[in-house]
Structure 1
Amino acid sequence: MSVVIITGSAGLIGSEAVRFFASLGMNVVGLDNDMRRYFFGDEASTRWNRSLLERQVRGYTHLELDIRDAAAVDEVFQRYGAEVALVIHTAAQPSHDWAARDPFVDFGVNANGTLNLLEAARHHCPDAPFIFTSTNKVYGDTPNALPLIELEQRWEIDPAHPYAAAGIPETMSIDQSKHSLFGASKVAADVLVQEYGRYFGMPTACFRGGCLTGPNHSGTQLHGFLAYLMKCTMTGTPYTIFGYKGKQVRDNIHSSDLIAAFYAFFQQPRVAAVYNIGGGQASNCSMLEAIALCESITGRRLKSSYVDDNRSGDHIWYISDLTRFRSDYPDWNITRDVPRILQEMYEVNQERWAAV
């Protein structure tokens, strides 16, 4: 039976991938040592999700492994060898602010960890598609130079600009911009994944995600925008808005829609593929719009405060252009928009977040 290796397997995207590929009858090996708890504290721990996976998912094997440990990573890939049909790499340090606290750990996890996985895959399963969850932060703050117009509830791009119809494409430069140290470490990983495709002919893909979200997200102040916002609204936890008048815009993609994109690539892999992936024009919102939706769904007022200083390198407006991926995989599409995503978060997490 074929094996799927998934890093960050107890996280939002990892766990969604575990359940999906296990449902196809594949054996899934998950690598996850709950570094999210180390990064963001007990509230962000994914141990609860790991427990669910181990109890509920047939054919799932969990390994508490640090991807910075090259020898341990290689041992896993050597153990499963030619049985490995797919590698999905979702493990990461995902926060701008946290990266500045400890650049060595950030780069070790995001860049060196990715290199360890690529090398292990090259030696033991070079024909298996290697899917990497990159980020739109590889573009640094270049999107902030776009001609933006301030509206009542959001920033919006000038309708005359070429990006207005579909969003930001993969042709945007990743050079000569301010990334944050997190963005820089993800750039390093992104380029490595591309290079292992081009140089060694491996089937690799970088999915440069917008906001990845869903009901199983362990959201915190430093990472997990929609999940943390809904959690704060439901629990009465104070929420801080950082800059841009709360009108900053993000596209949001549900974890199941992202896994559907991964599956499409798995079925028809390409070499050194790069895709912007997110909610696109079908699923996006500003901070103010998201707050209004959370309040409407829960029937509660959010306790919010505003800080005029935005997070360094943060985007004012970002919507992914999905044209390239849809061109390669025309049967794929977005199935959930922001209101539906938030409604699902509310319904799924009432019991779990009520205990907070």
Structure 2
Amino acid sequence: MSVLITGTAGFIGFHTAKRFLEEGHKVVGYDGFTDYYDLTLKHKRVEILESYENFTSVVGMLENAHLLTETVETHKPEIVVHLAAQAGVRYSIENPSAYISSNVQGTFNLLEALRHNVPKHLLLASTSSVYGGNTVFPFEETARVGFPVSLYAATKSAGEAISHSYAGLFDIPTTCFRFFTVYGPWGRPDMALFKFVDRMLRGEEIEVYGNGAMSRDFTYIDDIVEGIVQLSRTVPVVGTGDSEVGELDSISPVAPWRVVNIAGGQPVPLMSFITAIENALGVEAKKTMLPMQAGDVTDTLASPELLEALTGFIPNTPLEEGISNFVDWYQEYHDDRN
């Protein structure tokens, strides 16, 4: 099977591509190698992917509509996994244009390419941030998501809406998945786990926002990838819901489109997360307690019921195991660089 994955130099894209390659599929990776964070890390990920015979790398930005279209027409992918995006809630305040350009215009460009080369299934990454100001827990896919508190969330919500219109207009079977605080080996340097481990090993203070009174539905990277792979086999059909899913289903009544949370529904208090890192490192964190930052939310908690109903799978990697795996990778990665 031919799979096009955007964002293969990124954290989730790298792991997803590696999984499809290990299953014997042909993978075309599309990535622009932006300098949002350390390019060395991105190149190291792609070096690993290039060791697979069935991997083809295309270097280009989502904003390059011509190259995107050429890539789709050349490789005619059966499955498309759209993971490339400008990530980060806080950075969206500093550089909002990057989010409109990548997450809105870039997603539109991909959809335009696919309307003329319709795949069997398009899978598109969204985020728990789209739930925004919702105060009803757990977050269910059928909940209203019209109150984003960051531009990042707004652009990802726009991507969902645009993909729905293209799914209906051009019969592109589409599944959007909402990620919840993904962590694990090869993670991004701007994410909390990476920053905390890095600063704690240097003996520096870590910044704890919301004065520590926050919680997140942390999801280990292998569970995210398993959810993506499982959902790739579950193609939505317009106007129908799985009889076993019933009212849980977010299937559109007018398009072959649905949205699914990928998370375990097990929120962890931020301070417990930090304690788990301390235990893995054998280092006590020096903490600077700070108020909430603009664009952040206090808590996230997913309902995993639709994911389980569709695939039989619920993310279940214990936090302590996931953090230990990250610490092992972090230390090995930095030893190799020194």
* TM-score, normalised by the number of residues in structure 1: 0.84
Q: Deviations over 1:244-274 (max 9, x none)?
A: x212111111222122112222222112111
1:227 lines up with 2:194 in the alignment: yes
* Runs of 4+ off more than 3 Å: 234-238, 353-356
Residues 128-137 or 44-53, more deviating: 44-53
Aligned to 2:133: 141
Q: Deviations over 1:137-193 (max 9, x none)?
A: 1122223xx5xxxxxxxxxxxxxxxx3xxx211122111x24211111111111112
Aligned to 1:322: 304
1:307 lines up with 2:290 in the alignment: yes
Kept in 1, the 8 Å contact 2:122–2:173? The answer is yes
1:173 lines up with 2:144 in the alignment: yes
CA distance in 2, matches of 1:57, 1:280: 35
Aligned to 1:277: 262
Gaps of 5+ in 2: 237-255
Aligned to 1:345: 326
CA distance in 1, matches of 2:148, 2:257: 25
Identity across matched positions, percent: 25
Q: Deviations over 1:102-151 (max 9, x none)?
A: 22221110111111111112211x132111110011122223xx5xxxxx
Number of residue pairs the alignment of both structures matches: 318
* TM-score, normalised by the number of residues in structure 2: 0.88
Aligned to 1:198: 168
CA drift of 1:14 comes to 0.6
Kept in 2, the 8 Å contact 1:96–1:182? The answer is yes
CA distance in 2, matches of 1:235, 1:86: 43
Kept in 1, the 8 Å contact 2:220–2:322? The answer is yes
CA distance in 2, matches of 1:178, 1:218: 23
Residues 94-103 or 62-71, more deviating: 94-103
CA distance in 1, matches of 2:112, 2:153: 22
- Note the aligned Cα RMSD (angstroms): 1.9
Aligned to 2:122: 130
Aligned to 1:7: 6
Kept in 1, the 8 Å contact 2:264–2:314? The answer is no
CA distance change for structure 1 residues 260 and 174 in 2, over 3 Å: closer, same or farther? same
CA distance in 2, matches of 1:6, 1:254: 20
SS of the equivalent of 1:317 reads coil
Kept in 1, the 8 Å contact 2:307–2:314? The answer is no
Gaps of 5+ in 1: 147-162
Equivalent residues in 2 for 1:103-114, closer than 5 Å? 103-114=96-107
SS of the equivalent of 1:99 reads helix
- Tell me the amino acid that sits aligned with residue 324 of structure 1: L
Aligned to 1:159: none
Kept in 1, the 8 Å contact 2:30–2:59? The answer is yes
Kept in 1, the 8 Å contact 2:184–2:322? The answer is yes
SS of the equivalent of 2:125 reads strand
Aligned to 1:255: 221
CA drift of 1:293 comes to 0.7
Aligned to 2:44: 48
CA distance in 2, matches of 1:43, 1:307: 30
1:182 lines up with 2:177 in the alignment: no
Kept in 1, the 8 Å contact 2:126–2:160? The answer is yes
CA distance change for structure 1 residues 254 and 134 in 2, over 3 Å: closer, same or farther? same
